[in-house]
Each structure stands twice: as C-alpha cells, then as structure tokens.
Amino acid sequence: MLSIDASGVLMVDQSAGDAVNRSVWGEFTGGMRGRWDQRRAILRLLLGGGPAVVGSAVLLQIIAGLLPIGFVLATAGVIAGVPAAVEGGVDSSAWQQLRDHLIAAAALFFAIQLLLPVQAFLGEVLRRRIDDRVRDRLMADSFAGPSVAVLEDPEVLDQAADGVNMLRMAAWTPGAACAGFIALLSHYLQTVAAAVVVAVVYEWWAGAAVLLAGLVIRFGYRVGLSVFGRIFMTHQRVRRRRFYFRDLLFTADAAKEIRVFGLLGWVGERYSDAFMASSVPVWQQRRRIFYGPYVLYTLTAFVLLGGVLAAVARASATGVLGVGAFMIVMQAALSSIRIGAFIAESDVQTEYGMNAQQALTRLGELTLAAADPGGSETPSAELPIREIRFERVTFRYAPDAPPVLDGLDLVIPAGASLAIVGLNGAGKTTLVKLLARLYEPESGRITADGVDIRTFDGAAWQRKVAAIFQDFVHFELPVRDNVGFGAGGLRDDEPIEEALRRAGALEFVAGLPAGLDTPLSRQYTDGAELSGGQWQRIAIARALIAVEGGARVLVLDEPTASLDARAEVAFFERFLDLTSGATSLVISHRFSTVRRADRIAVLEHGRVTESGTHDGLLAAGGRYAELFMLQAARFAEDEPSGDDDLIEETADA
C-alpha cells in the first residue's frame, strides 16, 4: 500500500509489496486467505440482488451446467446407433432409437442456445441491483460525518479514484463480480459432471485425471490473474494523476487556458508519461506472472489429459470400449478440460469486481474512521438566541503545518451582522469552515448560546448555517434546483420566486428560455450561461431560501472577490439589507466594503487583533485604520474599471 511519510516521501507498505512480488505459487499458498476474504465479501453482496433474481439465476446455471452433459450422452448415442440403424433399416427399433437420440440431441442443443440470453439477462439484472446498492453505500460513506477533511486524504482519493472508475465500467463492478460468480456454477458443474461420466463409463482414475487437468489450468490462470489485479491496485496514485491529465484534455474548464497558453503538447506529454508510469510496471509484472507459470501448468494438464486420451484410444482399439463409450469419454474429457479456458462472462468481472469492492470497502473504512461521531442532540429552532462564540480555537490543516487559527477568540452576536476582514491567508475562510463543522478545531471550542456545537448532530447543525462560499457551486441544473437546494431541494414555485425577487434575480430568470426550469449551462438544450453578477444573485437567493428552511446563521465568504471594489460594496450592501435582523457573517479582504456591518473584526496571524464599529476602529488608529487607509488610497488612484454595467446591475439588485 502506498503512503507518504512526514517528509513527503512516497512510501510502499512492505506487506503490500511482498504480496505483489510473490510468485504464482507464493500467491497460491500465501494469498489464499486474502482471496477467500474477497470472495466472501462479494458473496455477501448477493443478498442485495433479491431472493427471486438470485434463486432464478442459480437454478438456471445448474440447468445450464447439466445440459451439455446430456448433449454429450445424446450425441454419443447417435454415433453409436448409426451402424445398427443402417443395418436394420428405417422400420427397425435401432432406427427408432437413433431417431430418439437425434431428437434429444437437437432439443438439448436448442435448449443450451435458448438459455444463453436468459442467463445474460438475469446476470445483468443482478449486476444492476447490486451496483445500485453499492453506489448508495458509496454516497453514504463519502458523507460520513459532517467534516470534509477526510475527502482530502490522498489514500481516500486513491481508493475513490479506482472504486468509482470501476463502478463506471459495467464489467468491473462488484455487481458484475456477483453475476460472474453465479455464472461459474454452470462451468464447474459441467466440469465435475463430465469427470464423473468419464469415471463411470471408463475408469475412476481417468475421471480424476481429467478433472485435475482442468483445475490445474483453471487455478494457475486465476491465481496469476489475482496477482496481476493486486499489482494493478498498487498503482492507484499514479493512475489518479493520469486521470487528472486526461480530464484536462477533455473538459471545457481547462480548454480555454490550454489553448491560450499553448499547453496542449505539455499536457499531452504529462498524460503520456503518467500513462506509461502506471502501465509499464504492470506490463512487466504480467510477463513474470503469466508466461513462465503458464508453460508449467499447461504442460501438467497436457500430460494428464494426453495420458487419459491415449488409454481410452487403446481401450477402444482392443474392444474394451465400444464406439459409443469411446465418444462419451472423449467428449466428456474435453468438456471437463474446458474449465481451464478463459471464461468471458466471469473471469475479468470477478477479479476486477473484487478489486473494486475492496477499494470501495477500504474507502468506507477510512471515511468512517475519520468521521467525528460528534453529538446526537438536535439544536433548537431558535438557536442562536444570544451569540456564537469561538473560545481559544486553534486549527491547522496538517499535523506538521503551522496553525491557521491560533488561540482565536471571537463573538458573533445573534441577530446582528459581523464582518471579518483581513489580508489573504489570514484564516477567514477557515473560520467559516469551522463554524459550519466542515472541519473540527484542534483545540478550543465553538459554542452557540454556551453549548459546544460538537454536542449537536453534525447534519442538524449544518442546516442552521447558510453559507455562500467564495467558490460557491454553479450547479449545471435548472434555476429551480440552484435556488431550492438552499432548503434541502425545495421545488415549489412561490417560495423560490420570492427568494429570487428579494435577491433581484426574478426579472432576468423570467426572461430565460424555460424560466425556473432553464438549465444554467449552454451544454444542455435550452440552457443559459449567466454572468458573474447573475450567479451571485442566484447564490443570494439560495441563502435566503435557506433561512426559510430553518437556517439561522448566514455567511457570505468573499463570493465577489473577482469584482472591483465599487461593485463589491453594492453587493455587500444589498446582502446586509436583505439579512437585516438575522445573524450574518460577512468575510472580505477589502476593508472598505463592509463599513455598514454592525461590528467588524480584524483577523491577523490566526487571531482577532481588533474589533468594533467602522468609525470606532478608524478613530482607534490601529491596524484596521492603517489597512483601510492604505486600500482607500490605492483605489482612489485607480481609473474607473469600465465595468459600469456590472456595478449598476449589482447596485440595482
């Protein structure tokens, strides 16, 4: 398993390396337990397919495994009966027996062919049912606990990249592995039944020999495939980098800069390098795993099968076996050895499906282990009534990183607006993430009316906070969803239109091709692309409707950082007017934009260095006054931006 040590060096877990470097024989002896664990995990998933579908699929595979043996017996009867039928003529009993054998052989042949699409259909139904459950569990695991920190962990991202990519490929999913294991029933049943026929018709040792010949090839090939799959999974991190460069080449977000800066060759080369780095070691190991062992176990099977066929031929030549018995033994022996061939509907599906299940299970283990169980109390609907308080809060993103917040104390009065200002990197956004419990403090606590918010159920507390982040999501979905998500997916026209009206967005939304149902992307039929100012109004409407849904704290985290100062002032003033009387938190690195807030706190070096009203802080002549005057002087020297339409549009909102 790959890991990164404290110095940032990529490390390989020794146990994983030993497993990868084992020979096929070493994997057969040393990896048996791991393979059985994988198979048990897959078989447990079968319960999700439903008893009717699973039972029907199993029964059909049993029938499909026995029909070929019946066909062997019927065709052997045809061949054995031809001389007597020819001699006796069309009216003889020998001819009637030949006819019956022909009809039986034809019926069995057609039954085998008719079962094939039914087997495929049931396998597909089973795969889809199980994969739907796996996806549901994946979503639940991804959102285990309120924190998002685990989703930034490299190992979690490695497991997610492989597991999710395999889920997108129908042949590599856990559901496909379940269907593949059921498909193996018919093949193993046919192998065993054929060996039994050989033992009964000829000699017991011959039946054992052909069974052993088939299983030697089968297990040699599957153990090699297991080692290969294990090697494939150890290159997750390099493969994830390959996926990143691939997506850069095929996504619109990166296409603009790749064209403008002429980066196509550079990105293409990096993609090629990452592809080779993730593929060449696998190819090299594949030769080690498959080629040498293949010769050994194929020769073993050849000797066993060749010895049986030679003995059968000798017995037939000496009259010990008749023509019919000879044909039965020959066909049954070949049917038994067929298990060693590649099974298209099972082999790749089971091996890579097990790997996908293992990756997704590991993903779930990591997210659940990292999830802070927190409390289970439900915060009251009125909370906060008095205040939200940060008490000596310290936080850092990595154990060896410097603290972003260092013993921070802060009071957010209920029903008032508080502005947090500071230079870039001061920890303003981190403060919001801690308030929303997207991360948990390293030390200290955050309280609402004196109660530690960690005693509350994480999801319930997060419903109390409506946040518009600097990088708020532009959902490529209808306007109705973009706004309604603020209240847990509300879709009713009246409250959505009211939120849009208050945000100054109703007029332009009404002019969109499908109104509230217009997708906000040109990539969809009748879709529309919004300007930056229009998207901000949609975000405000989302926050406003969140208040209707029960949110008590509104947070605005620099969503207008790309606007000039005048447009941002107008935007913030609109926000403060709309949220008057609510508990609101405004984050900005521009000091001049938040002067109307009820209270302003200056954040620097992870602590609040000053707090008060705009006029009071200016009169104090401290850091706020210094930075305010510095920014004001710079903006006074700037020429008009020429972005008057955006300024007027934002101010008119």
Highest averaged pLDDT of the listed ranges 59-73, 370-384, 572-586: 59-73
Domain ends where: 370, 404, 426? Answer: 370
Per the listing, tokens 């004196």 go with: 450
40/107: higher pLDDT: 107
Task: Please write the tens of the pLDDT for every residue from 432-485.
Answer: 889 988 888 999 999 999 999 989 988 888 888 888 887 888 888 999 999 998
Q: Is the pLDDT of residue 410 over 90?
A: yes
Confidence band (pLDDT; 50, 70, 90) for 373? low
278 with 333, same domain: the answer is yes
Cα–Cα dist 178/174, whole Å: 6
Token pair listed for 602: 């200056």
- Establish how many alpha carbons lie within 13 A of residue 49's alpha carbon, considering only the half-sphere containing its beta carbon: 27
* pLDDT for res 262: 84
Average pLDDT of the chain to the nearest whole number: 81
100 and 230 both lie in a single domain: yes
pLDDT of res. 649: 37
To 10 degrees, what angle do helices 174-201 and 32-45 make? 110
Does 22 fall in a domain? no
305 and 245 within one domain = yes
Residue 95 domain-assigned? yes
Residue 633 has pLDDT above 50, yes or no: yes
Has residue 11 got a pLDDT over 90?
no
Q: Model confidence at 244, in pLDDT bands (50, 70, 90)? A: confident
pLDDT class of 1 with cuts at 50, 70, 90? very low
Closest to 420 in 3D by CA, of 617, 273, 284, 638: 617
The predicted pLDDT at position 205 comes to 92
Q: What is the mean pLDDT of residues 261-282?
A: 84
Model pLDDT, residue 481: 92
Domain assignment of residue 198, yes or no = yes
Question: In terms of domains, do 546 and 561 share one?
Answer: no
Q: Are residues 477 and 460 in the same domain?
A: no
Q: Quick one: which H or E segment has residue 504?
A: none
Give the residue numbers spanning the domain of 101. Answer: 36-370
- Dump pLDDT digits (tens) for 497-544: 998 988 888 999 999 999 999 999 888 888 898 988 788 889 888 888
Question: 14 pLDDT exceeds 50?
Answer: no
Angle of helix 323-337 relative to helix 204-233, nearest 10 degrees, comes to 20
CATH number of the structural domain spanning residue 398: 3.40.50.300
pTM of the model: 0.69
Identify whether residues 99 and 172 lie together within a single domain: yes
* 295 and 430 fall within a common domain: no
Angle at 429 between CA 423 and CA 430, to 5 degrees: 110
pLDDT band at 26 (very low <50, low <70, confident <90, very high): low
Q: Which of 324-333, 350-359, 554-563 has the lowest mean pLDDT?
A: 554-563
Supply φ then ψ for residue 394, to 5 degrees: -120, 140
The confidence score (pLDDT) of residue 363 equals: 79
Question: Exposure string (b/e) for 455-479, b if CB count within 10 Å is 16 or more?
Answer: ebebebbbbbbbbbbeebeebebbb
> In sequence order, which ranges of 503-641 are alpha helices (DSSP H)?
506-510, 532-548, 565-578, 614-620, 623-637
CB-based contact 426:406 (threshold 8 Å)? no
Domain containing residue 162: CATH number? 1.20.1560.10
Alpha helices of 347-423 — where are they, by DSSP H?
347-370
The pLDDT value given to residue 24: 54
Examine the pLDDT at 547 and tell me if it is beyond 70: yes
Of the candidates 337, 370, 403, which is a domain's last residue? 370
Same domain, 612 and 537: no
Position 24 in a domain: no
Contact between 348 and 171 under an 8 Å Cβ cutoff? The reply is yes
521 and 636 belong to one structural domain = no
239 shares a domain with 155:
yes
Residue 31: per-residue pLDDT: 58
What pLDDT was estimated at residue 5?
A: 35
Q: In the β-sheet with 443-448, what is the strand arrangement from edge to edge?
A: 405-413, 387-395, 443-448, 451-452
How does DSSP classify residue 456?
B
Query: What does DSSP say about strands 10-12 and 2-4: parallel, antiparallel, or unpaired?
Result: antiparallel
Residue 639's pLDDT band (boundaries 50, 70, 90)?
very low
Residues 265 and 326 in one domain: yes
pLDDT at site 330: 87
Same-domain check for residues 190 and 305: yes
Tell me the C-alpha to C-alpha distance, in Å, between residue 549 and each of 419, 437, 475, 483, 504. Answer: 24, 19, 20, 12, 20
For the record, the structure tokens of 159 come out as: 């497991």
CA nearest neighbour of 145 among 396, 439, 395, 485:
439
Q: Is there a domain that residue 267 lies in? A: yes
Residues 123/182, Cβ–Cβ less than 8 Å: yes
Average pLDDT over residues 541-563: 79
- Taking a C-beta distance cutoff of 8 angstroms, is the pair 383, 448 a contact? yes
- The pLDDT of 350-360, averaged and rounded, is 81
**276-285, 359-368, 565-574, 597-606 — which one is most confidently predicted on average?**
597-606
**69-78, 134-143, 423-432, 636-645: least confidently modelled range:** 636-645
Strand order in the sheet with 417-421: 465-468, 553-557, 583-588, 417-421, 599-604, 607-612
376 confidence band (pLDDT: 50, 70, 90): confident
HSE-up of residue 455 (Cα within 13 Å, Cβ side): 11
In this predicted structure, the answer to whether residue 381 has a pLDDT above a threshold of 50 is: yes
Strands 405-413 and 583-588, how do they pair?
unpaired
CA distance 620 to 614: 10
Going by DSSP bridges, is the β-strand pair 417-421/583-588 parallel, antiparallel, or unpaired?
parallel
Tell me: pLDDT of 424 over 70: yes
25 inside domain: no
What distance lies between CA 89 and its chain's CA centroid?
69
Single residue among 341, 370, 399 that ends a domain in this structure: 370
pLDDT tens-digit readout, 189-227: 998 998 999 999 898 999 899 999 888 888 877 777 777
Residue 453 in any domain: the answer is yes
**Domain count across the chain:** 3
Structure confidence at residue 449 (pLDDT): 92
pLDDT digits (tens, 9 = 90+) for 172-194: 888 888 888 898 898 889 989 98
Q: What pLDDT is attached to residue 375?
A: 73
| For the ranges 112-116, 140-144, 586-590, the one whose mean pLDDT is highest | 112-116
